[in-house]
Amino acid sequence: MHSKEAGQMEVAFIDSHTGGEPTRVVVDAPLDLGTGSLFEKREQFKTQHDPFRRAVCNEPRASDTFVGALLLPPEDEKAVAGVIFFNNVGVLGMCGHGTIGVIRTLQHMGRIGPGTHLLDTPVGQVRTILHEDGRVTVQNVAAHRHQKQVQVEVEGHGTITGDVAYGGNWFFLISDSPVAVEFQHLEKLTEFTCKVREALEKHGISGKDGATIDHIEVFGPSDLANSRNFVLCPGKAYDRSPCGTGTSAKLACLQADGKLQEGEIWKQESIIGSVFEGSYRLQDGQVMPSITGTAFVNMKGVLVLDELDPFCWGILN
Ligand code: PYC
């Protein structure tokens, strides 16, 4: 952070996109998040610094699609950095596309080169591989299916069936969508998945320990990959990428159903046609997903936070 003039702050950022989904890395966050674990720092960020989250991710500086990533010192000295992910409505657990964006950003900053790099997140450490050609593989935290074939009544759509699974965030995964998973149906997919999320909340359907299911993932056929998805993120924006944590949750369901073997590749297309490659290995009976994709740095600069600006801290969602 640099002081510009009285009442103004400047905060350096680097933007990238991963399969079309933006990540805004905050390089030098001017925040006191305490000295606790990354999980505790995320709580501090959530409870004490929400205006800063909005200033980074919301209009007028960004849009509902942005995922922010606060770059922090790592918890583990072997890791290259710590990171807290957030978006237009709150904080995230892990973020697959965001991790790919952070690794490419660290490369752009000259902090890392091709090879293996550990990254600390509030939900655990992830191992990443930056390949020579710029692709990034994220070895995510363990994924699992929590509940199979849960039925829920969705206003205007009748009974909808889906799996509840965790891939670093909580997902409701629907294979039999009443709306075709095609780009021309974006509005209908958004309307449908928002209603599913409302219905899950209304009927008390949650992840483990009552965790909110804040991502809804719908699958359809693909010409490019094994499947195409549409993912509603917390808020009303959809993921332009195939969603790293959503693909991880999908891998856990495929493994549980015996439909994908250890090491086999699953190609997941997004609603805009970008593709991630996923696979998993089993460790102590747990599904450990790997997701590979590419990100490109496409903008960098400074955010100017001017206390005289009535929308300095972002427009509320
Ligand atoms: O790639 O995991 C992901 C993700 C979560 C929210 C948006 N993208």
Taking the chain (317 residues) in runs of 10, the rounded mean pLDDT of each run is: 72 98 94 95 97 97 96 96 96 95 98 98 95 98 97 97 97 97 98 98 97 97 97 96 98 98 98 98 98 98 96 92
Residue of 18, 241, 269 with the most ligand 1 atoms within 8 Å of its CB, for mutation: 241
DSSP 79-95: EEEEEEEE-SSSB-S--
DSSP category for residue 206: -
243 catalytic per annotation: yes
Active-site residue identified among 57, 194, 233, 243 = 243
Predicted local confidence at residue 4, as pLDDT: 65
Residues with CB under 6 A from ligand 1: 21, 67, 95-97, 169, 233, 239, 241, 243-245
What CA–CA distance (Å, rounded) separates 64 from 88?
Answer: 6
Residue with tokens 């993932």: 217
- CA 268, 293, 302, 27 dihedral sign is positive
- Specify the length of the chain in residues: 317
The pTM (predicted TM-score) of the whole model is 0.96
- 96 CA distance to ligand 1 middle (Å): 5
24, amino acid identity:
R
List phi, psi (to 5°) of 77. -65, -15
Predicted local confidence at residue 30, as pLDDT: 85
28, amino acid identity:
D
- 79 CA distance to ligand 1 middle (Å): 21
